[in-house]
């Protein structure tokens, strides 16, 4: 497994490594929840049209980011498009920002190219027959097969793909149809029109409404009020491209409870409440979405801070407080407390395995390490059970193994 100095510094501080290979190789214990989610939600409920929201919380170093990234990695292996956002770098008080983040992450152009291949198959051809530098329309024209009837059939296939799906917003369907036509070579899409479509889909300011009318779009803007419908449309196109659905992970939500002056993003009271309201609306309307799963990760201070945390916004707190107050860890719970999971599920053997894996990788990189033995691991669990340990178990394992505890 590849190891970099940056990974070493992150692991010393209890943070997950940047390398996905290293992340999976060092994962022990947290897969108790990620494997469960992959099997019980993505493999069945979400892939069959369901939608779900999960929350991950715990003390610093408990494995929140590790858990989130490991789950997203597993989702990608199951042909889900995955989106990884951080509240420290992306505004979440406006759902439009979440939609735009998803739009940029999933590569809509690639999805539409796969949709175009489906159209080619529906027309009775094989995509691999067409030279890479040639559009489908040019390929047909080169064989004297692009007559008016064929052109009409091509337009009909494109329109049927997007306009007959009731879950796709009309304006989104028009954009998708125009761009797919541009990929196929008919109807021809000018570069300026494609730029305009991308600007509108991305919610950019300055898009002229009169220019939208020329493309057949209704003169409207993407806002926080219709962004969920746009996200639903995006998910439908993702599925048309052959993917299973969409998984969005949003980390570092504790920044809502207060951030240092060094952070790029700082939430005012109004923006913080807008963020809470956005999450509340998403919870209430999650059933209007399909083939999508959201996972929010945040530190415990977001629950403990009564002035600016979740408790400060009663409309949201009322919807999740029962989950937080449950006494026993439940993998079906929508609120996953990783500290509680560690105390109930981690054994001395698990902690020793975590430490040994880390020590093995450190040894390959020429870094001195001291694997945690079973006695030390047992003492760590006992202290954690008493609620007096100042650091989470995974972070303690990392720091002891790497000699920085």
| CA quadruple 294, 295, 297, 303: dihedral, nearest 10 | 70
Separation between Cα atoms, residue 316 and residue 338, nearest integer Å: 21
Q: To the nearest whole number, what is the mean pLDDT of the chain? A: 90
Share of the chain above pLDDT 70, in %: 94
What is the Cα–Cα distance from 274 to 65, expressed in whole angstroms? 24
**Model confidence pLDDT, tens digit, residues 313-356:** 999 999 887 655 556 678 888 999 998 888 888 899 999 998 99
Residues 402, 5: Cα–Cα separation, whole Å:
13
Residues 6 or more apart from 145 whose CB is under 8 A from it? none
Task: Check whether 385 has a pLDDT greater than 80.
Answer: no
Q: Which helix H or strand E contains 299, and what residues bound it?
A: strand 292-299
Prediction pTM value: 0.92
Q: How confident is the model at residue 2 (pLDDT cuts 50, 70, 90)?
A: low
Give the pLDDT band of residue 223 (cuts 50, 70, 90).
very high
Angle between helices 5-12 and 393-401 (to 10 degrees): 130
8 A C-beta contact, residue 54 and residue 296: yes
pLDDT band at 389 (very low <50, low <70, confident <90, very high): very low
Mean pLDDT of 130-152: 94
What pLDDT score was predicted for residue 261? 55
227 has pLDDT over 50: yes
Weakest-pLDDT range from 197-201, 255-259, 293-297: 255-259
Cα–Cα distances in Å, from 270 out to 267, 273, 276, 308? 8, 5, 10, 11
- Mean pLDDT of the 109-119 span: 96
Share of the chain above pLDDT 90, in %: 64
Which pair of structure tokens corresponds to residue 228?
Answer: 């969920």
Per-residue tokens: 291: 């083939």
CB atoms within 10 A of CB 218: 11
Q: Which residue has the tokens 């406006």?
A: 94
CATH of 30-43+50-94+227-345, one of 3.40.47.10, 1.10.3720.10, 3.40.50.300, 1.10.10.2160: 3.40.50.300
Instruction: Decide which of 271 and 13 is more confident.
Output: 271
Domain ranges of the chain: 1-29+346-405, 30-43+50-94+227-345, 108-214
Query: What digits encode the pLDDT tens for the residues 62-112?
Result: 899 999 999 999 999 999 999 999 999 999 999 999 999 999 999 999 999
Confidence of residue 5 (pLDDT cuts 50, 70, 90): confident
Which pair of tokens denotes residue 143? 């064989």
Contacts of 280 (CB under 8 A, 6+ apart): 313, 315, 316, 319
Whole-Å CA distances, 248 to 6, 91, 158, 243, 269: 25, 14, 28, 14, 25
């Amino acid at each position: 497994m590849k190891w970099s100095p940056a990974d070493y510094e992150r692991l010393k501080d209890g943070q997950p490594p940047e390398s996905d290979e290293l992340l999976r190789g060092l994962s022990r214990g947290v897969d108790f929840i990620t494997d469960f989610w992959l099997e019980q939600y993505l493999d069945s409920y979400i892939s069959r049209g369901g939608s779900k929201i999960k929350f991950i919380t715990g003390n610093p170093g408990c494995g929140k980011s590790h858990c989130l990234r490991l789950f997203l990695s597993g989702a990608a292996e199951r042909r889900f498009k995955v989106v990884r956002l951080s509240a420290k770098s992306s505004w979440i008080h406006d759902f439009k920002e979440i939609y735009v983040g998803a739009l940029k992450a999933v590569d809509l152009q690639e999805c539409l190219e796969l949709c175009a291949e489906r159209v080619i198959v529906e027309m009775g051809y094989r995509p691999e027959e067409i030279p890479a530098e040639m559009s489908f329309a040019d390929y047909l024209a080169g064989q004297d097969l692009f007559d008016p009837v064929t052109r009409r059939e091509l337009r009909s296939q494109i329109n049927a793909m997007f306009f007959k799906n009731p879950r796709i917003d009309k304006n989104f369907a028009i954009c998708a149809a125009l761009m797919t036509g541009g990929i196929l070579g008919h109807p021809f899409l000018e570069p300026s029109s494609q730029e305009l479509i991308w600007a509108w889909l991305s919610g950019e300011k300055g898009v002229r409404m009169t220019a939208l009318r020329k493309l057949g779009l209704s003169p409207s803007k993407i806002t926080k009020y219709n962004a969920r419908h746009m996200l639903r449309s995006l998910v439908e196109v993702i599925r048309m491209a052959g993917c299973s659905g969409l998984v969005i992970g949003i980390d570092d939500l504790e920044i809502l409870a207060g951030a240092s002056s060094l952070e790029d993003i700082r939430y005012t009271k109004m923006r913080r409440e807008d963020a809470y309201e956005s999450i509340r609306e998403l919870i209430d309307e999650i059933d209007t979405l399909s083939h999508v799963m959201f996972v929010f990760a945040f530190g415990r201070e977001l629950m403990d801070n009564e002035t600016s945390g979740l408790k400060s916004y009663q409309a949201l707190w009322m919807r999740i407080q029962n989950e937080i107050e449950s006494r026993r860890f439940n993998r079906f719970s929508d609120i996953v407390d990783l500290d509680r999971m560690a105390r109930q599920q981690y054994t001395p053997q698990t902690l020793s395995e975590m430490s040994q894996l880390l020590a093995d990788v450190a040894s390959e990189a020429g870094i001195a390490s001291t694997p945690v033995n079973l006695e030390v691991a047992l003492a760590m669990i006992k202290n954690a059970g008493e609620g007096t340990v100042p650091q989470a178990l995974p972070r303690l394992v990392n720091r002891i193994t790497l000699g920085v505890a």
